[in-house]
Structure 1
Amino acid sequence: MSPLEGLTVIDFSTLLPGPMASLVLAEAGATVIKIERPQTGDDMRSYQPRLGEDSVNFVMLNRGKQSISIDLKRPDALEKLTPLITRADVLIEQFRPGVMSRLGLGYDHVREINSRLVYCSISGWGQTGPKSNVAAHDLNYLAETGMLGLSAGSDGAPVLPPMLAADIAGGAYPAVMNIMFALRERDRTGRGVHIDISMADNLFAFNYWGLGSGLSGAGWPKSGAELVTGGSPRYHIYRTADGRYIAAAPLEDKFWDNFTRLIGLPAEMKGPAADRQQAREAVAACIASRTSAEWKAVFEGQDVCCSVVATLEEAVKDPHVVARGLFEQTVGSSGGRLPALPIPVASVFRANTTHRPSPLLGAANELLES
């Protein structure tokens, strides 16, 4: 039996953070019911590329869920949803603060229907504060929490990150953690709670080291100058002779000693007295003398904490990833199937179903009649 089997989640969210959170719950056995607009549904359905009627993005994020299509602005919407709310355990919403209340579905409204309901609101800036209704996306949250400012490239400009860190690490995953905390608390008290998940708030923990330095008076970190922002030769990215890159992170002395010996770094550049910029340039010159394949062979079996920077295609096909079975489960739609998203639910807790489809819009509307 999956740990969340028998748990019912009503998901009013769209796009990424909320659907990712409810996907994690679904993979652990919860019944997840998406509430979508008539005709168009979740905005993610219309994205490219396609897999049948829906986008690949939608299919991957909504594996194993059910879909109800209803216009929340209709006068009878709350009445139709009340039986579902009555028996639900968790409600996830991702509107700007105040929207659910205007629809008659705010926490104060629904707890009168179901006092045991765990109500999770995911938003960019949180439910309170001067920015609570300011429009923003992932890049904005990274910019305004100081993370982007520590990611300067060689020209000094911040580097556009390829991952949606605020949506997933700041929104979806904290939502899941706090939903589980709330369910555990409900076991003791019998009462639900309103959870306020701010994607921006949750990004600060990722800069714990910089906060510690700045708040203690030791100095605020600068891009390109700190241990993990490019200031050290022991944590850097170096170009190879064939135009690829080595991600080198031999931070500890034992790894640094192995690394410098293998690349042939001059002795005067190895010690703590060496100028950091000169040491980085010396390491760069060594790495630039061979191809990525040659360096991979040199580092193979050695404790050096070094990797060839892989493409996403190479990463998916890595023998270690294949051996771990990360992409063995599948998701499907009317257009076929593809490997499912390898979300962080341990195999021992996963629903025991290898293939699960994404829902057709409104396919579970009969639930409104039950």
Structure 2
Amino acid sequence: MSATPTKPLANVTVVELARVLACPFADMILAELGATVIKIEQPGAGDETRSFEPQVGDESAYYFACNRGKQSVTANVKTESGRRIVRELTQRADVLIENFPVGTLARYGLDHAALRAENEKLIYVSCTGFGQTGPYAKRKGYDTVFQAMGGIMSLTGERGGGPVKPGLPIADLTSGMWIAIGLLSALNGRTLTGQGCHIDFSMLDGQVSLLTLAAGRYFALGEVPPRLGTEHPGRVPSATFACNDGAYVHITCSDQHWQPLCELLSLQALAADPTLSTNAGRVEHRERVMAALTKAISGWSRQALCDACDAVGVPAGPINNVAEVLADPHVRARGMVSEFDHPSVGTFGALPLPFKFDGFANPEVARPPLLGEHTDQVLRERLGYDEQRIAALRHEGAI
């Protein structure tokens, strides 16, 4: 009988000295890949997202969404005893992730230089809005500020309309992914050198890096890309079309899909026009092509159009709302809707990590911790504190 597969990060311990979304989301990814994530929370209050809407009983669905699988330890870093707990945990950890304003943790003796002196293999991740250096380093910001300053809002919105933010906190979520990529790279680098490092991550930097194709058009053409709604600046057709049942379908074609799409929609004149046989020609004649497609598609229902496109190999998909996504049979078959059992809320839905491993154990949905749930256990088992010491720490407000 073969041994039970191991989760790929089972040997990694992370101390999370962070709150809200970007860093907690990164750490949830690590936790469900097997890492031990010890989340440091403020006694009595915890991560402020515990109070965010929507509330489920006395708990927050917002907190649930990015804190699964962690251990919650309360420690007041404004007290010397609380800071000592963080230092002692970090001495035994592989990674510390923090998102305090620049310079704050140095005042508490919890900055990279201080903790690296006690653990030279420590990977210390600092996530701030604008980074540790530069003219904006001291500025404050949130997800939507970084979306605005990083360019994505300027690209999002209807043709001729004003800027629009995406429907999810893209700057926070993608920052969490950038953080996970960076620290996993550093962990591998540590196996090469035996040394830890400091990662200075700016959420604005992360948004700038996502500009990719928009920046490519600017570098190549000097073009500041306009807002085009669901249309693609360099591909036609690639857009969302309204159907006769009030629903929408998104269609994206390459050259090999153009003739099948025209035949499907009975657009013989477009199919026969040689100037439209290439994407470059269709981009040049965007208005004519889009007008014809919009008119033809307006006579179809969403499901009928999607089925017809699938039958002829034209890439298309319905614009699903959240309820439709979570009920989709393929999404369900791939195991992308799950749940956990919580001691005060009961069964609650969750979205698993999107990885399927062959050779490692797959990520499993775990429940988020109660505030301070693991404080005593971690102090006893990891730091060797006895019950009397733990009681004294609680009495003085350090935990």
Choose which of 1, 23, 41 in structure 1 pairs with 2:28.
23
Choose which of 224, 231, 238 in structure 1 pairs with 2:241.
238
CA gap 1:351/1:9 in 2 versus in 1, 3 angstroms: farther
Taking every aligned residue pair, what percent have the same amino acid on both sides?
Answer: 31
CA gap 1:202/1:82 in 2 versus in 1, 3 angstroms: closer
1:368 aligns with 2:379: yes
Superposed displacement of residue 368, structure 1: 3.1
**Which residue of the partner structure matches residue 301 of structure 2?**
291
Conserved 8 A contact 1:51-1:336: no
1:58 aligns with 2:63: yes
- What SS is found at the alignment partner of 2:211? helix
Matches of 1:354 and 1:343 in 2, distance apart?
8
Superposed displacement of residue 343, structure 1: 2.3
Matches of 2:268 and 2:338 in 1, distance apart?
47
Matches of 1:135 and 1:241 in 2, distance apart?
46
Matches of 1:52 and 1:117 in 2, distance apart?
39
Superposed displacement of residue 21, structure 1: 0.6
User: 1:54-93 maps to which residues of 2 (within 5 A)?
Assistant: 54-93=59-98
Conserved 8 A contact 2:121-2:194: yes
Matches of 1:306 and 1:333 in 2, distance apart?
43
Conserved 8 A contact 1:68-1:364: yes
Choose which of 98, 104, 107 in structure 1 pairs with 2:109.
104
Normalising by structure 1, we get a TM-score of 0.92
- What SS is found at the alignment partner of 1:127? coil
**Which residue of the partner structure matches residue 392 of structure 2?**
none
Higher alpha-carbon deviation: 271-280 or 223-232: 223-232
Superposed displacement of residue 71, structure 1: 1.2
- What SS is found at the alignment partner of 2:97? strand
CA gap 1:80/1:300 in 2 versus in 1, 3 angstroms: closer
Superposed displacement of residue 80, structure 1: 2.7
**Which residue of the partner structure matches residue 5 of structure 1?**
10
User: 1:264-275 maps to which residues of 2 (within 5 A)?
Assistant: 264-268=266-270, 271=276, 272=281, 275=285
Structure 1 unaligned blocks of 5 or more:
none
- What SS is found at the alignment partner of 2:199? strand
**Which residue of the partner structure matches residue 255 of structure 1?**
257
Matches of 1:124 and 1:365 in 2, distance apart?
30
CA gap 1:301/1:59 in 2 versus in 1, 3 angstroms: same
State the one-letter code of the partner of 2:226: S
Conserved 8 A contact 1:239-1:284: yes
CA gap 1:174/1:210 in 2 versus in 1, 3 angstroms: same
CA gap 1:61/1:318 in 2 versus in 1, 3 angstroms: same
Superposed displacement of residue 227, structure 1: 10
- What SS is found at the alignment partner of 1:11? strand
1:180 aligns with 2:191: no
Work out the number of aligned pairs and report it. 367
**Which residue of the partner structure matches residue 301 of structure 1?**
311
Superposed displacement of residue 175, structure 1: 0.8
Conserved 8 A contact 1:329-1:340: yes
Conserved 8 A contact 2:238-2:251: yes
Higher alpha-carbon deviation: 71-80 or 226-235: 226-235
Choose which of 306, 315, 329 in structure 2 pairs with 1:319.
329
Conserved 8 A contact 2:32-2:365: no
**Which residue of the partner structure matches residue 332 of structure 1?**
342
State the one-letter code of the partner of 2:322: L
Conserved 8 A contact 1:152-1:158: yes
Deviations 1:233-273 (A, max 9, x none): 411111111221111111x1111221122122242476127
Matches of 1:43 and 1:154 in 2, distance apart?
38
Conserved 8 A contact 1:27-1:351: no
Superposed displacement of residue 153, structure 1: 0.8
CA RMSD, Structure 1 to Structure 2 (Å): 2.3
Structure 2 unaligned blocks of 5 or more:
1-5, 385-399
Higher alpha-carbon deviation: 146-155 or 122-131: 146-155
CA gap 1:181/1:157 in 2 versus in 1, 3 angstroms: same
1:143 aligns with 2:148: yes
Superposed displacement of residue 135, structure 1: 1.7
Matches of 1:349 and 1:94 in 2, distance apart?
34
CA gap 1:105/1:323 in 2 versus in 1, 3 angstroms: same
CA gap 1:45/1:188 in 2 versus in 1, 3 angstroms: same
**Which residue of the partner structure matches residue 121 of structure 1?**
126
Superposed displacement of residue 351, structure 1: 5.6
Conserved 8 A contact 1:9-1:89: yes
Superposed displacement of residue 18, structure 1: 0.6
Higher alpha-carbon deviation: 202-211 or 310-319: 202-211
CA gap 1:183/1:331 in 2 versus in 1, 3 angstroms: farther
Matches of 2:341 and 2:29 in 1, distance apart?
14
Higher alpha-carbon deviation: 45-54 or 342-351: 342-351
Matches of 2:124 and 2:349 in 1, distance apart?
31
